[in-house]
Structure 1
Amino acid sequence: MLNAVPESRASLHAMLDFAWDAEAFVSTDAMEATGLTRSTAIAALDELINFGLLRELPNARAVGQYSKGRPARRFELRPEAAVVIGMDAGRSHLTTTVADLRGKVLAQEIVELGAQKEDPQVRRAAVVAAIDSALLAAGRSRTEVLAACIGVPAPVDSRGRSPSNATASGAE
């Protein structure tokens, strides 16, 4: 989605990082927060609108926030534009959460793994099935996934380091 040329990719990411946490905003707010020049900021905003991640709102004058000169363009993140997936892939269960771009949980499902939970092919198939099931419950599809993160259990010592031997307990 954000496969722009390298020099503009950083501007897109900076603008998206800002928009993620902002409510409705004007381009000057985005420029101040990101340090981008006006032309670069506007280009990034327009590109994010083209990607479908932002929407342009009625200008500041139309909502009574501006009265002199050229009215400022206003924007906001489209939280429904895509989804993110988080999965806790525990040893005996899979907990899958699908959320919109503002972090609103759309669906969460827990799947208990059967006796063959250690078999890599069975586990991979269970992960894919759990993701597909959670997406279905959220009313979304794979094509709408912007990012996914899967946490897996691993033995660690009191300093957060994994033991060198995978079968070692390592817990202190």
Structure 2
Amino acid sequence: MPRSAPRPTAAPGSSTSLRASNERRLLSVLRTPTDKGVHTQAELARATGLAHATVSNIVRDLTAAGLLDTEPSSGRRGSAVRLAPGAGVVAGIDFGHSHIAVAVGDLTGKVLAEERVASEPEDHVLDLRLARTLLERINPAVGPLRQVGLGLPAPVVNNVVRSSAIFPGWEGVDAAAVAEETFGVPVRVENDANLGALAEHRHGQGQGHTSSVFVKIASGVGAGIMINDELFHGADGTAGEIGHLTVDEQGPMCRCGSRGCLETYTSSEHLLRLLGSHLPGATFKEVVVAAGEGNLAAQRVIEDAGLRLGWALGSVLNLLNPGIIILGGASAQAGELLLEPTRTGLRRHALSSVAETPIVISELGDRASLVGAVQLAAEDTELVHSGA
């Protein structure tokens, strides 16, 4: 559904509006995975705060609409309820510096199929036709495509790309509106670091914490922030630009126009430039291998990057006090080689009360932003009966 033709909404306070709100509450609970894979109607009533009769009526109508499946449950707890397999699927698309990744997931955000292809840096355009081709190839066709989550390595405000060194020509463009013409369904656009934060919080290292920070260190450096289990975007959507914290006023010039930004010391591209004469043509993975085998130059640049990163993360911890910090992106391949100096730098610059906050490597690796794109689409999908 194009954004130029939004779904009609009921008047606030009307019975239709209340009904839609109750359906959203119930569907939100059903999207939360459980060990059993189902929720009983009694559990749905407790989780939503709705009356048992209200839950029963909603379940009946959504089952008739093909959105839910029910089956008898033992005891007096009511029918077991789950999202119907045919209720639909969502898609996630992650455009990176050197790849395009596409995934299809169910309405809980579980990935069902995915594919990743390489792209050349000089070809950095939003190749939506290629993404659609990949999507059509992997779509399990278990229901209609409901929504697409699109991840970009750029600041995004209300689906509009604010700036992008990787996708020149897209600054100021409503990427969602353009993508909706390609996919024919609603599209939600988000910064890739934010998507990594969402994925790790829901499915990875951030589980069990109400707040977490995901730091993606690749060709650039950015962070996604989860507060009270929700993404924090800031006043205009650009929260998390940790790569442009100044760690040395006399440092090298950054692409943002400032000097001594964290990104100029820790991005994978920066580290590869430093090692150009020592390990010419090496990938970052090869740098990590060399460091593990005792290459002093490789060890030193990773150590220096970690110390600077710890300095910046100390400020993040002092300001936000998250439960955990998760490192992702290409540089996270260094593992403990990066983590040890990062913890050292952090202890030098963080208050003692937060200096022992866990800092870990991403559990989802280079899939984090893609998994987050699927999760975003699932959580954003409108499935109330009146619009199904």
TM-score of the alignment, normalized to the shorter chain, above 0.5: yes
Deviates more, 1:26-35 or 1:1-10: 1-10
Q: 1:66-105, aligned counterparts within 5 Å? A: 66=75, 72-105=78-111
**Aligned partners of 1:153 and 1:169: how far apart in 2?**
18
Contact 1:107 1:135 in 2 (8 A): no
How far apart are 1:157 and its partner, in Å? Answer: 6.5
Whichever residue aligns with residue 161 of structure 1, its letter is E
Q: Which one has a bigger Cα radius of gyration?
A: 2
Residue 152 (structure 1) aligned with residue 140 (structure 2) = no
- Cα offset for 1:156? 5.9
Of 32, 55, 62, the match for 1:41: 55
Q: 1:53 to 1:132 in 2, by over 3 A?
A: farther
**For the residues of structure 1 that align with 2:99 and 2:131, how far apart are their CA atoms?**
10
Q: Structure 1 86/20 Cα, relative in aligned 2: closer, same or farther at 3 Å? A: same
Q: Residue 113 and residue 52 in structure 1: after superposition, are their counterparts in 2 closer, same or farther (change >3 A)?
A: same
Alignment of 1:1-172 (within 5 A): 5-21=16-32, 22=34, 23-57=37-71, 59-60=72-73, 65-66=74-75, 72-114=78-120, 117-119=123-125, 123=126, 126-140=127-141, 144-154=144-154, 160-161=240-241, 168=256, 171-172=261-262
Give the structure 1 partner of residue 368 of structure 2: none
Q: Secondary structure at the match of 1:76?
A: strand
Moved more, 148-157 or 80-89: 148-157
Q: SS of the counterpart of 1:31?
A: helix
| In structure 2, distance between residues paired with 1:139 and 1:94 | 19
Tell me the secondary structure at the aligned position of residue 31 of structure 2: helix
For structure 1, which segment, 95-104 or 145-154, has the greater mean C-alpha deviation from structure 2 after superposition?
95-104
The answer to whether the 8 A contact 1:80-1:101 is kept is no
**If the length of structure 2 is used for normalisation, what is the TM-score?**
0.34
- Alignment check: 8 A CA contact 2:89 2:105 kept: yes
Identity of aligned residues (%): 24
Higher strand share: 1
Q: Report which of the two has the higher share of helix.
A: 2
Shift of 1:131: 3.2
| CA deviations over 1:29-81 (Å, ceiling 9, x no partner) | 11111001223212221232133221121x23xxxx227xxx83332222453
* Corresponding residue pairs, total: 156
Where structure 1 has 5 or more consecutive residues not aligned to the other structure, the ranges are none
- CA 1:128–1:15 in structure 2 vs 1: closer, same or farther (change >3 Å)? farther
Show structure 2 runs of 5+ residues with no match: 2-6, 10-15, 155-219, 224-238, 245-254, 263-388
Q: Secondary structure at the match of 2:256?
A: coil
| Matching residue's letter, 2:123 | K
What is the TM-score when the length of structure 1 is the normalising length? Answer: 0.70
- Choose 85-94 or 109-118, whichever is displaced more: 109-118
Amino acid at match of 1:97: A
Query: Residues 157 and 136 of structure 1: is their aligned pair in 2 closer, same or farther, counting only changes over 3 Å?
Result: closer
Shift of 1:88: 1.3
Q: 1:133 Cα shift?
A: 2.1
